[in-house]
Amino acid sequence: MIYKNSYFRKELRQAYIENKISTSRKLAFALFLGMLAFAVHFVLQSLSESVLSDAIPQVMQPSYFSTVSIYVTISFFINILYFMIYYEYLSFAEIRRNRWYLLEKMGYMPLRMIFSKLFAYIFSLISIYSTGFVFTIILTVFLKYTFVYKYLPALFIKGLIDLIVVGIVFMTASIFIMNPGNARYFMLLFTAATVIIRFATGYTRLTSDRILMQDVGNMFDLGKTVYIPISAAIILICFIICVYKARNVARFYSLPSGAYKKLVPEDSAVMMMDRSGKLSPFGKGEINRGKIIEVVTSVLFVLFVLSALAVNIFIILISTSQPGREVTIKGVIPYIFKSDTMEPTIMINDLAYFRRVDQTESIKTGDIILFQDKKVVYVERVLSQSGGELSVDIDFYPPLTQVGSMKKTVGRKSVYGVYTHSNRWLGALILFANTIFGRLLFLLIPAFVLFFYKPIINFFEENKTFEDEE
């Protein structure tokens, strides 16, 4: 076999060792994205009776718009993760590794390499994204939803623009940020900033609207959102910076940070003399910065694991709570409300909180109460009260049911809880946690983080020298 790799072909390979492997891996990645989108669609469908149906109707409805929107979102976040993992190969970090320095010595032109790298990245991005997009549509065909092709081009363009914006910004940042760990933190921050900008410019609202998305022109209508011109400006500016700066940096040899520590005798410190003749520690800033990042990362990880554990314990408590033997936390009974009888005050699958009450506490008319009647637990509203008797009824009778059929009179002694408030999102979270996928996720993530704490921390910190990373 004769090796005839050009720089462009090398870039197309990304992190993989052979061109063929790279092509098949990219195809597999695209199919994975499509299948993941499909899996998430199914999970969301199981949560349709929750706050999610009101909050994100665009992905909750059984339609092509839902599956494709989920694909576009998943593709955005997973591609960012992909970039973070393969940062070394996809970004301009190789300039900081002095790989371009070597290639320049061998007759390669930096400008050509810059264009090759950018185009190869965008080409790979488009091919993976498009393949996954088509695959998602093909999978949705099996669900027999009504096929509306009009919003597909707009969704496709939306996803592609998002990916190109983050891709080129990450590429540009990699020229300036020497430490891969810092670059990964930047990626996280920029991703969060992108999401905020999308909300702030009305882009999220626009792209969530099935009707508006049927006309691609709406995305470019400045009256509706300025996100696209902002994105175009970001892409253009980053492209210019990449071409100018990468070319400039490629001329320089990048000194590996912190590589000298092991060369200095233990009993000595190295000082640098500045122009005024003053001595200052050699590379002190790097060490301090490294320590700060290490502390921040560790604290964030501890917080994450602790909150995941707290959520788990809470979910387990709620899930084990049974009618008549409810778990009480500081005098409050949390209750997953599995009925629509108290809508709109308590929606189906909301997490409702009831204050535990004893016999001495007074109950007002209009209160929603938790009571037991013939060993069955009910939640109803107090309509009136006389002596020790309360007249109660539900708020909402579904169509085709007889209004007033649930009206009853209960003794004060049967009441043990008064409704205080409810939380729709926690209700949805618990509903999700009780699905197989949710159980796996909530139990596996903290376990995974605890088990792989060290490699994950290393992945983000990487304050090591270039040689250490090899």
Closer to another protein by Cβ: residue 126 or 264: 264
Helix axes 64-85, 180-200, angle to 10 degrees: 150
**In the complex, minimum distance from the CB of residue 470 to another protein, in angstroms, rounded to a whole number:** 5
Closer to another protein by Cβ: residue 5 or 405: 5
Instruction: Estimate to the nearest angstrom the gap between the alpha carbon of 151 and the chain centroid.
Output: 24
Closer to another protein by Cβ: residue 104 or 209: 104
**In the complex, minimum distance from the CB of residue 216 to another protein, in angstroms, rounded to a whole number:** 38
Closer to another protein by Cβ: residue 10 or 412: 10
- Do 463 and 179 touch, CB atoms closer than 8 A? yes
Positions touching another protein (CB under 8 A) are: 2-6, 10, 13-17, 88-89, 94, 97-99, 101-103, 105-108, 251-256, 259-260, 262-265, 267-273, 279, 282, 466-467, 469-470
**Which contacts of 320-324 are long-range, i.e. CB under 8 A and separated by 24 or more positions?**
323/372, 323/376, 323/377, 324/372, 324/375, 324/377
Q: How far is CA 314 from CA 304, 363, 370, 433, in A?
A: 15, 29, 21, 11
What is the rounded distance in angstroms from the CA atom of residue 457 to the CA atom of residue 180?
A: 12
Closer to another protein by Cβ: residue 10 or 245: 10
**In the complex, minimum distance from the CB of residue 246 to another protein, in angstroms, rounded to a whole number:** 15
For 412, half-sphere exposure in the C-beta direction (CA atoms, 13 angstrom radius) is: 15
- Do 102 and 7 touch, CB atoms closer than 8 A? no
**In the complex, minimum distance from the CB of residue 248 to another protein, in angstroms, rounded to a whole number:** 10
Structure tokens given for 201: 């410019």
Closer to another protein by Cβ: residue 267 or 358: 267
Closer to another protein by Cβ: residue 99 or 247: 99
Structure tokens given for 283: 């590379």
**In the complex, minimum distance from the CB of residue 343 to another protein, in angstroms, rounded to a whole number:** 58
Q: Around Cβ 55, how many Cβ atoms within 10 Å?
A: 13
Rg (CA), the chain: 29
Return the sign of the alpha-carbon dihedral for residues 173, 177, 179, 185.
negative
Closer to another protein by Cβ: residue 5 or 24: 5
- Do 375 and 324 touch, CB atoms closer than 8 A? yes
Return the sign of the alpha-carbon dihedral for residues 30, 33, 36, 41.
negative
- Residue 216 DSSP label: G
What is the rounded distance in angstroms from the CA atom of residue 451 to the CA atom of residue 470?
A: 24
What is the rounded distance in angstroms from the CA atom of residue 191 to the CA atom of residue 429?
A: 23
Closer to another protein by Cβ: residue 55 or 264: 264
Tracing tokens 């520590």 back to the chain, one arrives at: 261
Closer to another protein by Cβ: residue 19 or 288: 19
**In the complex, minimum distance from the CB of residue 88 to another protein, in angstroms, rounded to a whole number:** 8
**In the complex, minimum distance from the CB of residue 460 to another protein, in angstroms, rounded to a whole number:** 19
**In the complex, minimum distance from the CB of residue 237 to another protein, in angstroms, rounded to a whole number:** 26
**In the complex, minimum distance from the CB of residue 104 to another protein, in angstroms, rounded to a whole number:** 9
What is the rounded distance in angstroms from the CA atom of residue 78 to the CA atom of residue 82?
A: 6
**In the complex, minimum distance from the CB of residue 78 to another protein, in angstroms, rounded to a whole number:** 21
